[in-house]
Amino acid sequence: MDDGEPRSATPLTWIAAAFAAAACASAASVGADARWLAAVGEAIVRFGRLPHSIGYAAAPSSWHDAPALGQLVFHVLVRAFGDRGLVGAQFAAVTCALTAIAIDVRRTGARDGAGALVILGVVVGVPATVFVVRAELFSLALFPLLLLLLRREAGWRTQRIWLAVPLLALWANLHGGVLVGFGVLAAYLVLDRARYAPLESLGVLASSAVALLATPALLHSVTYYANVLSGETAVEHYGLWAHLDPSQPLDLVFCLVAIPMLAAALRTRPRLWECALLVTFALMTVNATRNGIWLLLFAAPHAARSLGARRMSGGMVGRRVTLACLAVLAAIAVTSFRHAPAEDGASPALLDRAVAAANGSPILAEPIPSEQLALRGARIWIGNPLDAFPNVEQRRYLDWVRGDPAGASLLRRVRVAVVLRGTAAQRQLARDGAYRELARDERAIAYLATA
Contact 70, 135 (CB under 8 A): yes
- pTM for the model: 0.90
Contact 406, 412 (CB under 8 A): no
- Backbone region of residue 62 per phi and psi (left: phi > 0; alpha: psi in -120 to 50; beta: other values): beta
Q: How far is CA 48 from the centre of its chain?
A: 27
Kind plus residue range of the DSSP H or E element containing 398 = helix 391-401
Query: What is the pLDDT at residue 3?
Result: 43
Kind plus residue range of the DSSP H or E element containing 167 = helix 164-172
Amino acid (one-letter) located at 24? C
Contact 264, 307 (CB under 8 A): yes
Query: What is the pLDDT at residue 5?
Result: 42
Contact 382, 397 (CB under 8 A): yes
pLDDT in tens, 56-72: 999 999 999 999 999 99
**By C-alpha distance, which of 114, 115, 111 is closest to 102?**
115
Long-range contacts of 3-6 (CB under 8 A, 24+ apart): 4/109, 5/109, 6/106, 6/107, 6/108, 6/109
Number of H helices, E strands in the chain: 20, 6
Strand, coil or helix: 365: strand
**Residue ranges covered by each domain of the chain:** 11-306, 348-449
Contact 44, 51 (CB under 8 A): yes
Instruction: Residue 158: count other Cβ atoms within 10 Å of its Cβ.
Output: 10
Mean pLDDT, rounded, for 399-426 = 93
DSSP 50-97: --SS-TTB-S------TTHHHHHHHHHHHHHHTHHHHHHHHHHHHHHH
**By C-alpha distance, which of 57, 60, 69 is closest to 373?**
57
Residues in the chain: 451
**In degrees rounded to 5, what are phi and psi of residue 247?**
-75, -15
pLDDT in tens, 369-384: 999 999 999 999 999 9
Q: How far is CA 252 from CA 122, 129, 229, 258, in A?
A: 14, 16, 26, 10
CA distance linking residue 58 with residue 381, whole number of Å: 5
DSSP helix, strand, coil percent of the chain (3-state; round to 5): 65, 5, 30
pLDDT in tens, 133-172: 999 999 999 999 999 999 999 878 889 999 999 999 999 9
Mean pLDDT, rounded, for 75-84 = 93
Instruction: Please enumerate in sequence order all residues whose Cβ is within 8 A of that of 383, keeping only pairs 6 or more positions apart, or say none.
Output: 36, 54, 56, 57, 365, 367, 370, 371, 374, 397
Among 109-118, 239-248, 408-417, the range scoring the smallest mean pLDDT is: 109-118
Query: What is the pLDDT at residue 17?
Result: 85
Query: What is the pLDDT at residue 337?
Result: 59
Q: Is the pLDDT confidence value at 313 over 60?
A: no
The model's confidence at residue 333, banded by pLDDT at 50, 70 and 90, is low
Q: How far is CA 51 from the centre of its chain?
A: 23
Contact 393, 60 (CB under 8 A): yes
Query: What is the pLDDT at residue 308?
Result: 63
Mean pLDDT, rounded, for 181-196 = 95
Average pLDDT across the chain, whole number = 89
Mean pLDDT, rounded, for 344-369 = 94
Helix pair angle (114-125, 249-267), 10° resolution:
150
The model's confidence at residue 28, banded by pLDDT at 50, 70 and 90, is confident
Query: What is the pLDDT at residue 66?
Result: 95
Cα end-to-end distance, the chain, whole Å: 80
Instruction: Residue 312: count other Cβ atoms within 10 Å of its Cβ.
Output: 15
pLDDT in tens, 94-144: 999 999 998 898 888 777 688 889 999 999 999 999 999 999 999 999 999
Q: Is the pLDDT confidence value at 24 over 80?
A: yes
Query: What is the pLDDT at residue 57?
Result: 96
Query: What is the pLDDT at residue 154?
Result: 85
Amino acid (one-letter) located at 354? A
